[in-house]
Every structure is written in C-alpha cells, then in structure tokens.
Amino acid sequence: MDQPTSEGRARRDIDALVAEMTLEEKAALTAGLDTWQTAPLERLGVPAVKMTDGPNGARGQTGPGGLSLSPSLCMPSGSALGATWDPQVVEQVGAAVARQARDKQARVLLAPTVNLARHPLWGRNFECFSEDPVLSGKLAAAYISGAQGQGVAATVKHLVCNESEFERRTCSSEVDERTLRELYLLPFEMAVRQAGALAAMTSYNRLNRRYVAERADILEGALRGEWGFGGIVMTDWWAAASTLDAAEAGLDLEMPGPGRAFGPALAVAVRQGALKEAVLDDKVRRLLNVFDQVGALDDPPGLPEQPLDRPEDRALARRAAAEAMVLLANDGLLPLRPAGLKRLAVIGPNAEVPAIMGGGSARVSPHYVVTPLEALRSRLEGVEVVFEKGCSQPRSEAEAAALAAAGPGANEQDIARAAQAARHADACVVVVGTNDFWETEGTDRATMDLPGDQVQLVDRVLAANPRTVVVVNTGAPVSLPFAGRAAALLQCWFAGQELGNALADVLLGTAGPGGRLPVTLPERLEHTPAFGNFPAEASLVRYGEGLLMGYRWYEARHLPVRFPFGHGLSYTTFEIGAPRVTPRRLARGGRLSVEVEVTNTGSLPGAEVVQLYVAPPAPGLAAAGWPVLPPKQLKAFGKVHLSPGQSATVRLGLTERDFAHWEVADTEFPVLVGRLAKNDADRQKAGPHRSRAGWYVSPGAYQLQVGRSSADIAHVVEVDVEGGPAPLPVLAPLS
C-alpha cells in the first residue's frame, strides 16, 4: 500500500513495483538512457530521472563543449566554499544549487566533491573543499542537507582517492589502509552518517589496483555495512566497470547510457545463472527508493528547463563569495577609504575577465558575471578609476602557444603602461590569477607559478606604487613571491558570478574578508607532502606521505610555509578566551564539551573562526611499535560574526572518534612470535598487534589546542582520555 510522505504525497510501494517488473525492465534501470537520464518504464509509470552536474551550479542539459544549454546560477567553487569555514552558508548554497537543478528538471545533483586537496597542481583542486578531511566532511554534510531539503538527491563524489587527473581512468592510487580510513574515506563517511547522502559516485581511478566500482570491501563493507548507506552507487561518466564483479560488489547504476557493463548485460547474466536475480532486485529497489524519496517518480516527463535568476540567489552568491575571501596580509591599506581616493588604478588581466569557476564538468553558463573592474567603477563615484590589463592571460591552447611564440617581451609595453598608471594613482588594485583553461578537470597543472608575465607585472606595479592590493584569483595554491612586499594580499578564489561585487564589498569594507585558508600555501612546490609522488608513474600514484598530508606534513617536518592552514586576517581584532572543557576526563563512550568565548576588541564588525586541534600524548605514541600520530589534527571549528565590543560563545563537541586512529588487523604476529625461541620471545619488546581492524583509542593525556590557524594557537588544555584495548563500535558517534 502507498504511504504518505511528510509533504503529503503518496510514497510508492517499491516492493510491489519490483515484483511487477520483468527481468529486462529491472536490468534496464541499472544503466542510463542517455547522457543525463535513467531509463523510463512507461508500462509501470516510472519516468526517466534526470541528473545534472554540479557543484558550483546546476549545468542541466549540455551541448557542444559541455556548456549548459540554458543559463545557470554560478556559486563560488568548492575551494571558495571551503574557505568560508561556515556550514550554514554552505548549506544555503547547496539548497540554492538544488533549486536550480529543479528548475532544470533534474532530481539528482552530481555534487559535492569531497576528494582532498593533496597536491597543489591537481587540476581539480578548485572543486573540492579542503586538504583536511574534517573540514571537508562537515561542509559536505551541510551542502548535502541543503540540497536534499529541496527534493534533490546529492551525490557525494568521487569514491575514493581521485586526487590527480593524469591517466585518471587507468592509474591506481596506492594508499595504505590506515591513511585511507583516517583521511580519504572520512569525508565520505561524514557525508553519509551526518547528512544521509542519497547517492555516491565511484572514481575513475583504481584503488590499490582495483576499481572501486568492483570493490565489495568499500561499497558493501564500509559504505553500506559500516556507515549505513541506503542510497545508490553510480559510476562516473564512461568509467570502467565489469558486469559480474561490479554487480556483486554493490554498484547500482552505470552512467551514461546505453549500458555497456550494466543494463541488458545484467539480464543476460541472470538468465545464464552467473548472477542471482535477488542481487539485481536489490539494485532496482535502491534506485526506486531514492527516486521516490525525492519525488522523482511523480514528475511529469519532458518538461523544459526553466532556470530562474532569483534575487535571493544573487544575494547569497555575493555573501558567500565575501565570506570566502581570505585576507592573507594587510599593513593597514585595507579597507580602502573612498574619501581619500582621487584616482584608483585597477590592473591585471583578471580584473577585466575574472575566473569565476574552473573547467570541466563543474563549468556552467552563468546568468551573468560581475567583473572587479565593473564593480569598482560603479561603487566609486567621484573617483577616477583607470584600467590597464598589464599582460595577457591565455584561455586556450592556441592562445598559450601564441604567447609563448611571441617570447618573458610580448607584454613589455602593457606592463610599462600598467606601471605608469600605478605611479600616478593614490592606490592600486592588481587582480591576477588563473582561469578555467589552467585549472580544469582532465588536466593537472605543470607549475605552481602564475601563468605568463603576471609576476613581472605585480613586481613592476609594487615598485611603482607601494599602496597596492594584490588580489589572487585562483582556485588552488600558486607561488606568491611578492607576498612580503604587497601592502595587502587577498585570496578571492573562483568566487562565482558575484565575484566582482563581493570583491568590491571587501576592498571597500562594506563586508569583511570572512575566509580562512582551507589549504596550506607552501613556499615552494618542493616542500609539499606529495612532491615526488605526483602524478602517476607506471600507472601508480603513490600516496607516500601517508597520514602526513597537508598541514600535518609541514609541522611534522618543521618546514616553513607561505601561509598556514586556517590562516586569515580581519579588519578588526578578536580575543579568544580560555576554553572551558567538561569533563576533563573522557571515559569510554563519553563526550567532551568545549566552550570558547570570543570578543570583538576592535572598531569594525568581523568574523572569527575558532579552530580546535587535537594533539596526541607525547612521547608515548612515538615509541617503537605504537601508532605514530600527526602532531595535531583539526577536529572541530566554529565561526562567529561580531560587532565591535560584542562577545559570543562558540560551543564545540568531541567524541571518542576524535581521539581514535585506525589500526589494521595483524594476525601474523602470534604465529611469528611462536616460531621464536622462548628467551628471544620474552626479550622482544612489542607494541599492540590487533586481531581485529578498527578504530582504537590509545589512553593518555591529549592536548586540545584552540586558536586561529594551525600555526596560531591561543590556548592549550590537557584532557585525560581513557581509551582501551577494544575497538570502538562500528557506528561510534561522530562529533
């Protein structure tokens, strides 16, 4: 019998529907009809269900070059959303993108991307949130909650270890089990357990020599068995998959259609007795349950896309972009005071043609684009705003080749004009960066340097006028050799269609720079954790840095960085009070409450992000045989917006999982010890050897480090953690 939903619509009796289906109809549902739709079953009233790319907008139907056939809302990209450190804003963005997906008649959104920013040159860094799994996971959960609240199934992707583009369809990410669990699987776990993601997409790449679409230990073991995932698992588009191995492993849907491994091939496998029909039934049941849950089974077929340009979406895009902008350095030049300006020089290729998004499947045709030059001119009435491009920014292979052929002289006249304009201005704003040619799905970058002559341009402008703001318009880290010489340095990311207005808001002080770095900005590429292990070599991508990825690496190796993870300045000052922690001893199955009072001690409103890191006991865990833990790891954070003189309490919570590490099963150790002579066995010093893999907590005194970044810790509080020899329950509470 059909059951009513909370929205008042009747839910389908899925079991009865599956029982009515023929073998061929069941198999047809497991492969796409075409690029974006699942197969309809008209006889049973099951419509085609449309999907759309994300995550910074809903592309909808695409044409040549992969561009949207109708305009789309273009929100800030993933790394920009990561820089907000604000789950509330990210949830609102997820809801807005999902509304646009509904406008485009789509019920499945292929977002968010929760792979980690392992290496600065990964072409798809802009699309993911952070180098840290906890920040990524919490923001992913917020995005998914927002999207699924609009009747759209969110698809967490790409499962798992898809952190390079080179040979991505064939290469194998070689990752040890502990690193996989503690870093790369964690944001997927949080997306499922904290937000109930309804869909997951497997990655193109192999994981330890096997495609994830064919790995039952990941799909049926971790995803469904441990985390309780009840949604659908689909392939990435045209990804490799087998029929029997993928079917038995837990894959539900091959996209796009027509099917190669699934669809008719599954019907053949069942008829030949190679696959049990019950396995196929489970896939169909999961597909129909998700489609029914979001209301897709009641959608009339064939409706045209009708994307709306909503005023509230414009406002949100502008606010989210400002919340993402990270003030890296400032000697007092910012915010600019229009009353003291007669002439402002706006310089740089990205001032006129900003990069609002990266390339590939995340690229949309925006409703509109506001450029920094347009926004500053419209806001600064009575101020002469002069513009010089300064140098070219290639946007295609042909343009890059032409610029290279022209020769560090092709832009000399443009740079000279820019320096001249800077010399005669009261202040300068230089906007440099990359674009969707340099940062794109399918290709990794070759260098961390800014393309073309942009560094030379910045150097000449800084020499001409020290009152210069350098705005970095990139989605991923770039070299910043001028960082110590710019009066102000602002990272604006790929900030979406409202980039220009948001940038003007921040530069002029009508909005504060709300962002904090979601990634470490290194001094040199050679210092980065994955240097020497990126990209693939002989079809293997070795994750040789293990657990020491991101800020963990730099602290463990005592390496200097340009700007640390979590860093970001404000136009005001804040006092972070001493944390109040209760209880001070964490018993098995218990929780900790951490309260931190934050006060705006300056003269302007602003935002502060309280970051809580957990550091392990020392030196005990560094002893031979015991698990080595990173120096510190982010475990909780909270963002507050305060007026001058205002205070607020940031409340954070921790569970046993925040002090746990993954240990692999070691069943060989007892056998090996048994082969030793008794005296040798008695003399051998040994650490723990677990008979069961799982999350374990080592007892001891842990530090709670509370501060503004991984390198700026204001307070340290010690807590005693009980721990124990038994693993945590499979569904141990997440904070």
- In tens, the pLDDT along 588-621 reads 999 999 999 999 999 999 999 999 999 998 755 5
Name the residue type at position 176: D
Q: Which residues pair with 241 in a beta bridge?
A: none
How does pLDDT run across 234-268, given as a tens digit for each residue? 999 999 789 999 999 999 999 999 999 999 999 99
pLDDT of residue 400: 79
**Residue 436 pLDDT exceeds 70:** yes
Would you call 236 a catalytic residue per the annotation? yes
**pLDDT exceeds 90 at position 483:** yes
Structure tokens at 120: 């600065």
**Residue 66: predicted pLDDT:** 78
> Is the per-residue pLDDT at 681 higher than 80?
no
Cα 621 from Cα 630, distance rounded (Å): 10
Contact of 159 with 201, CB cutoff 8 Å: yes
Give the 3-state secondary structure of residue 248: helix
| SS3 assignment, position 625 | coil
Residue 9's pLDDT band (boundaries 50, 70, 90)? confident
Helix (H) or strand (E) holding 178: helix 177-179
What is the chain's length?
735
Q: How confident is the model at residue 4 (pLDDT cuts 50, 70, 90)?
A: very low
Mean pLDDT of 573-590: 97
Residues ≥6 apart with Cβ < 8 Å to 708: 516, 566, 567, 568, 576, 608, 609, 610, 611, 714
From 622, 642, 618, select the one nearest 700 (Cα to Cα): 618
Q: Which of 496, 490, 547 is nearest to 521 (CA)?
A: 490
Please tell me the distance from the alpha carbon of residue 269 to that of residue 71, in angstroms, as a whole number: 42
Determine what percent of the chain is predicted with pLDDT higher than 70.
Answer: 98
Ordered strands of the 427-433 beta sheet: 326-330, 488-491, 468-473, 427-433, 343-347, 384-388
CATH class of the region 317-519? alpha beta
| Predicted local confidence at residue 6, as pLDDT | 46
Alpha-carbon span 217 to 665, nearest angstrom: 15
Provide the whole-model pTM: 0.97
CATH code of 574-721, in short, is 2.60.40.10
Confidence of residue 455 (pLDDT cuts 50, 70, 90): very high
Burial class of 102 by CB neighbour count within 10 A (0 to 12, 13 to 18, 19+): buried
Name the residue among 609, 610, 600, 611 with its Cα closest to residue 572.
Answer: 600
As a whole number of angstroms, the distance between CA 162 and CA 67 comes to 23
Of 606, 589, 581, 417, give the one whose Cα is nearest residue 509: 606
DSSP label of 434: -
Between CA 701 and CA 584 the distance in angstroms is 10
Between CA 438 and CA 446, with CA 444 as vertex, the angle to 5 degrees is 75
Query: What's the pLDDT tens digit per position in 495-504?
Result: 999 999 999 9
| Beta-bridge partner residues of 713 | 707
What percent of the chain is modeled with pLDDT above 90?
88
Strands 468-473 and 172-174, sheet pairing: unpaired
* Tens digits of residue pLDDT in 166-189: 999 999 999 999 999 999 999 999
pLDDT, position 155: 98
400 versus 92: which is more confidently predicted? 92
pLDDT in tens, 416-425: 999 999 999 9
Residue 464's alpha-carbon distances to 213, 414, 415, 422, 431, in angstroms, are 57, 14, 11, 6, 16
Burial of 230 (0-12, 13-18, 19+ CB in 10 A): middle
Report how far residue 200's alpha carbon sits from residue 156's, in angstroms, rounded to the nearest whole number. Answer: 5
Which residue intervals of the chain bear CATH 2.60.40.10? Answer: 574-721
Q: Closest Cα partner for 595 from 607, 586, 583?
A: 583
Provide the token pair at 184: 């790369």
d(CA 144, CA 111): 8
Taking the C-alpha atoms of residue 280 and residue 277, their distance in angstroms, rounded to an integer, is 5
Backbone angles phi and psi of 609, in degrees to 5: -115, 120
Tokens of 324: 């993402």
pLDDT of residue 1: 38
Backbone angles phi, psi at 423, to 5 degrees: -60, -30
Q: What is the mean pLDDT of the chain?
A: 95
pLDDT of 3 > 50? The answer is no
| Residue 404 predicted with pLDDT over 60 | yes
pLDDT higher than threshold 60 for residue 5:
no
Domain with CATH 3.40.50.1700 in the chain: 317-519
Most confident of 57-66, 413-422, 686-695: 413-422
Taking residues 332-357, report their average pLDDT: 97
679 — pLDDT class (breaks 50, 70, 90): confident
pLDDT at residue 123, rounded to an integer: 97
Which uninterrupted H or E stretch holds 674?
helix 668-674
**Residue among 440, 442, 438, 441 nearest 454 (CA):** 438
Q: Cβ distance 93 to 385 under 8 Å?
A: no
Annotated catalytic residue within 53, 103, 132, 236? 236
Look at the alpha carbons of 400, 405, 409, 413 in this order and tell me if their dihedral is positive or negative: negative
Give tens-digit pLDDT for 284-306.
999 999 999 999 999 999 899 99
| Average pLDDT for 95-110 | 98
DSSP of 79-124: HHHHHHT-HHHHHHHHHHHHHHHHHTT-SEEE--B-----STT-TT
pLDDT confidence tier of residue 624, bands split at 50, 70 and 90: low
pLDDT of residue 625: 66
Closest CA to 220 of 190, 195, 252: 252
Which phi and psi (to 5°) does residue 4 adopt?
Answer: -70, 150
Output DSSP code: residue 733: P
Instruction: Compute the distance between CA of residue 543 and CA of residue 407 in angstroms, rounded to an integer.
Output: 38
For 148, 165, 365, 494, the CA distances from 362, given in Å and listed in that order, are 19, 15, 10, 12
Q: What is the mean pLDDT of residues 425-452?
A: 96
Residue 40 is classified by DSSP as P
Q: In which residue are the tokens 């659908």 written?
A: 232
* Gyration radius (Cα) of the chain, Å: 26
